[in-house]
Structure 1
Amino acid sequence: MWKWNRPLARGAPQIRVRSHTLVAIRWVGVAGQGVTLLIVYYGLGYVFPIVPAIAAVIASAALNLFVLLRHWARPHIGDRDATLYLGFDILQLGVLLYLTGGILNPFLVLILAPIVVSATVLSSASTVILSLLAIGSVTLLAFRHLPLPTPHPMAQPDPVFVFALWIAMILAIGFTAGYVYRVAREQRRMQDALAEAQAALAREHQVSAVGAIAAAAAHELGTPLATISVVAKELVRDLPKDGEWAEDAELLLSQAERCRDILAELSARPRGDTGEAFYKGPISLLVEAVSESRGMAGASVRIVREADTESPAAEPRVMRRPEIVHGIGNFISNARQFAESEVLVTIYWDSETCRITVQDDGPGFAPSVLSRLGEPYVSTRRDADGHMGLGVFIAQTLLERTGARVEFDNRVDGGAEVVVTWPRHRLEQEDQI
């Protein structure tokens, strides 16, 4: 199986919440609670302990002011502090529900709000703690609470109904916490993976730009260097062999010739990671350059060219785009790490498509991850020690930007296989970014 090149980070990330966001959400809750209590008590005439209820709302507002002042200069709140604040919200809402009917109060569903906030932005441990606190509050409210305020006396609720309502709330808390946390985690991972992909593309662009500058400098310096070489040759020829300046003239000539060789190498066809950013040539040469740039570690690489014999077409000529360089290079590097003897890269083209197939003779992809390849953070190790599928995700994302379709499979006779297919007209476009 393959091991992915780059873990996202070293260790667990530090989770922080924007203080202004949390404060704004809590102000909405405070305002809603206060208005609801006043309308129910004074507008509808429902009788309940209004003073303790208003005191609970004031306590929540006071905590919000404390949070605002404490974190005024710091835009973020740590995971622990945010958990404490949301835990207070659950307890404060539990007090209000106790005063206004307990589990029979239709506003009981609002106890899910802190759970949703925690599952969205906090750690799994914080979400579990707050969920257990909410379940405990609902359980207490099912057995101990003041009567539900109504204009007319109500019969005692059926215990079966109360039990069913309690079960429903526990299931709602558990499902909401688990589902929202999983969705938010996948979203965060996708954002981090896309950021890594952008960073990888930026690195490839920078390398290509350096190569372009070097080639342009070599071209511009060619003429003055040729003049220096001519003058140096004339000095060597005209100065006496045993003269005072003869040795210096010979040194000048040798260094000029050395500079000429260096400039000639820079001006040559792009190779490896120092290639010309605007070079356009046969795709097989690009694959060769990418393969050579990945070093000599691992199995050898054999490149095979296959053209369609029924409808012959010229080999596609492509720009040396960083997306292709990084994507194909990543697949070749992974194949070389896990191949037993050889990596076979087959380049096929016809008038409509171009296809690059990377095959190795190693153990292949694990069946458990084959269907999920291309997703970020797909681990190929049972201990999940950080060797994730981020490298493959980045490679696939960059190649798809050029119009490619990437497919993963295991060979019948053993080994892994990656197939990258382009519509030919997309691959040969010069204005892709």
Structure 2
Amino acid sequence: MANRPSSTTHPIETHRDWVRLRTLIFLRWTAIAGQLAAIFVAWWRFDIALDLPLCLLTVGAAIAANLVAIFLFPESRRLSQAEAMGMLLFDTAQLALLLSLTGGLNNPFALLILAPVTIAATALQTRPTLLLGLATILMISAAAVLHQPLVTRAGVVISVPGVVEFGYWIAIVIGVVFLGAYTHRVASEIHSMGDALLATQMALAREQKLTDLGGVVAAAAHELGTPLATIKLVSAELADELDDRPELRDDAILIREQADRCRDILRSMGRAGKDDLHLRAAPLLAVLREAAEPHLDRGKTIHFDLAPGPGGSVRQPTVYRYPELIHAIRNLVQNAVDFARSTVWIDAEWTEGTVTLRVSDDGPGYPASVLGRIGDPFLSPRREADRARRPEYEGMGLGLFIAKTLLERTGARLRFANGKDPFLDDSERPARCGAIVEVRWPADRLIAPDAGALGENVPISA
């Protein structure tokens, strides 16, 4: 399979319309101010005989474009990919034309042609960035060949040696390619990480809401038990006393039946535990089963094996029921069930200083090409074989990223591995030949203090 590390079916939507018009307008005003300053300093301070009307007309085109953008659109407008590329392409063409009027590559400000393509690499997707980069190379090449020489009023031609000019052109072309590729790669990783962290926060918030809801339901089931019992008792007594009035007796029986129904509903909703202490901590096996519960009936056998490690207590530890812990382990189990052939093993071991969890399966394991990058969001797409076997699975690595991030918040360290040597034959592979995820916590971060018996439920005071 091409990309096992994920349990999320749909990746976060990529950034498309997030470049603000105001930002590009501000950058263009900055460029206009710099261009005007360079033109007038060269004209007055260094006595360079520029074609001033054409230079000012070129700068005026940028001013007009900014004014049109300001008056036609609100500055808070977010540009589409095509609109942003159009603005940056205009800026590149305007600067290339200005360079042609002011010496081409003999102008030291020719390096600024890199600015629009760098902005595009940061803000745009791959295709518009490539188009703008290619256009930049073509325009700077044209400006290197077709340009007005820099001449002072005294007739002195200002130029650099041809080999230096050629080297300057090569440097700009390499700069377009390198800066574009480097900036685009870094920006893409930042966007992917931001999207993945947002998904992590949403998953954690959802799990926290479910946990809070469980506490409310458990408290409601506990508190409503007494009034429902009273209603049932009184309605039963009324039914006995109304034997001679059948219509009223039927109403009393209906009240008793509905009270029983309310009791049953609350009992089923609060089955996670009637004492809210259970919502904060539970035996390790109970937490693991709760996390794996949605995947117990998916056609794969899940084995739970818990045992003390060297120096560990024989008694199973009670661990905190962190919402992020439940959600993260559920992601790991889902990932294992998704790719297992028939069996998933959930093993836990505890000592005085650590708690270790291993989730393994008998599937094909992690691809060797991504084994070192597991836990990063948005890995490469899947192979066609896996797409045919699991068409609904996107394989972008977001599920394991969420699990890894949430588990690290609880103090855990994760290790990903495969259970078999890739050079072994199928007949030689062990039972647990698939992917292995090992999670290790310091005992004091996961094991809850032993408070003894929970005792009687205590009514919630107003």
Match of 1:260 among 259, 263, 269: 263
- Equivalent residue for 1:406? 414
Q: Which moved more, 1:346-355 or 1:161-170?
A: 161-170
Q: Deviation of residue 313 (structure 1)?
A: 6.5
Cα deviation, 1:28-78, whole Å, max 9, x if unaligned, reads: 111111111111211232222122111111111111111122221652122
Instruction: Determine the C-alpha separation between the residues in 2 that align with 1:126 and 1:90.
Output: 14
Normalised by the length of structure 2, the TM-score is: 0.86
Measure how far apart 1:199 and its partner are: 0.9
Deviations 1:287-336 (A, max 9, x none): 11121234511312111111124343753322322101110001111211
The answer on whether the counterparts of 1:313 and 1:350 sit within 8 Å (CA) in structure 2 is: no
Residues 380/56 of structure 1: CA separation in 2 closer, same or farther (3 Å cut)? closer
CA offsets, 1:91-116, max 9 Å, x none? 11112111211112111100000011
Q: How many aligned positions are there?
A: 427
3-state secondary structure, aligned to 1:392: helix
Q: What residue number does 1:382 align with?
A: 383
- Report whether the alignment pairs 1:419 with 2:438: yes
Of 66, 69, 79, which residue of structure 2 is paired with 1:67?
Answer: 69
1:143 aligns with 2:137: no
Matched, 1:94 2:96: yes
Q: After superposing the two structures, state which structure 1 stretch, 9-18 or 30-39, moved more.
A: 9-18
Q: Which moved more, 1:105-114 or 1:70-79?
A: 70-79
Alpha-carbon distance in 1 for matches of 2:268, 2:14:
46
The alignment status of 1:395 with 2:397, answered yes or no, reads no
Between stretches 1-10 and 280-289, larger displacement belongs to 1-10
Q: Secondary structure at the match of 2:436?
A: strand
- TM-score normalised to structure 1 length: 0.91
Shift of 1:3: 6.2
Correspondence list, 1:153-302, <5 A: 153-154=156-157, 157-240=160-243, 243-270=246-273, 278-302=279-303
Unaligned runs of 5+ in 2: 388-392, 421-429, 450-462
Describe the shift of the 1:429–1:119 C-alpha distance in structure 2 as closer, same or farther (beyond 3 A): farther
The answer to whether the 8 Å contact 1:225/1:260 transfers is yes
The Cα of 1:169 is off from its aligned counterpart by 1.4
Where 1:4 maps in the other structure, the secondary structure is coil
Structure 1: runs of 5 or more not aligned:
none
What SS class does the counterpart of residue 245 from structure 1 fall into? helix
Alignment check: 8 A CA contact 1:379 1:386 kept: no
The correspondence for 2:25, drawn from 23, 26, 41, is 23
Q: Which amino acid aligns with 1:26?
A: R
Distance 2:9 2:300 in 1: 23
Using the alignment, how far apart are the partners of 2:9 and 2:314 within structure 1? 41
| Identity among equivalent pairs (%) | 37
* Partner residue, 1:32: 34
What's the C-alpha RMSD, in Å, of the aligned pairs? Answer: 2.5
Distance in 1 separating the partners of 2:319 and 2:38: 66
- Alignment-mate amino acid for residue 62 of structure 2: S
The answer on 1:103 being equivalent to 2:111 is no
Instruction: Output the CA distance in 2 between the equivalents of 1:116 and 1:261.
Output: 64
- For 2:94, the aligned partner's letter is Q
Alpha-carbon distance change, 172 to 190 in structure 1, aligned in 2, over 3 angstroms: same
Return the letter of the residue paired with 1:240: D
Q: 1:330: which partner in 2? A: 331
1:355 equivalent in structure 2:
356
- Does the CA-based 8 Å contact 1:208-1:277 persist in structure 2? no
Query: Partner letter of residue 181 of structure 2?
Result: G
In structure 2, distance between residues paired with 1:12 and 1:188: 8
Q: Within 5 A, what are the aligned runs for 1:301-320?
A: 301-312=302-313, 314-320=315-321
**Deviation larger for 352-361 or 122-131:** 122-131
Q: Distance in 1 between matches of 2:158 and 2:263?
A: 101
CA contact (8 A) 1:3 1:380 kept: no
Tell me, what secondary structure is at the counterpart of 1:306?
A: strand
* Residues 235 and 249 in structure 1, CA contact (< 8 A), matched pair in contact too: yes
Is 1:366–1:380's contact at 8 Å kept on the other side of the alignment?
A: no
CA contact (8 A) 2:341 2:363 kept: yes
**Aligned partner letter, 1:228:** I
Residue 270 (structure 1) shift:
4.4
SS at match of 1:417: strand
Given the superposition, is the C-alpha separation of residues 380 and 82 from structure 1 closer, same or farther in structure 2, using an over 3 Å criterion? closer
Decide whether the 8 Å contact of 1:276 with 1:320 is kept in 2.
Answer: no
Structure 1: how far apart are the matches of 2:102 and 2:270?
82
Q: CA contact under 8 A between 1:215 and 1:276: conserved in structure 2?
A: no
CA displacement, residues 119-155 of structure 1 (integer Å, 9 cap, x when unaligned): 1111212111111111111211222212134577358
User: Is the contact between residue 299 and residue 337 of structure 1 (CA under 8 Å) also seen in structure 2?
Assistant: no
Does the CA-based 8 Å contact 1:56-1:96 persist in structure 2?
A: yes
| Partner AA of 2:435 in structure 1 | A
Return the alpha-carbon distance in structure 2 between the equivalents of residues 427 and 43 of structure 1: 72
For residues 367-418 of structure 1, the C-alpha deviation after alignment (integer angstroms, 9 at most, x for no partner) is 1121111000114613688331111111111111111112111013311111
**Offset, 1:245:** 3.4
Does the 8 Å contact 1:212/1:277 carry over to 2? no
Question: Which amino acid in the other structure matches residue 37 of structure 1?
Answer: I
Distance 1:257 1:107 in 2: 84
Partner of 2:427 in structure 1? none
**1:8 positional shift:** 4.4
Aligned to 1:418, the other structure's residue is in SS state strand
Q: Distance in 1 between matches of 2:97 and 2:448?
A: 66
**Partner amino acid, structure 2, of 1:278:** L
Contact 1:316 1:354 in 2 (8 A): no
C-alpha distance 227-156 of structure 1, shift in aligned 2 (>3 A) = closer
> In the superposition, relative to structure 1, how do residues 200 and 363 fare at CA in structure 2: closer, same or farther (>3 Å)?
same
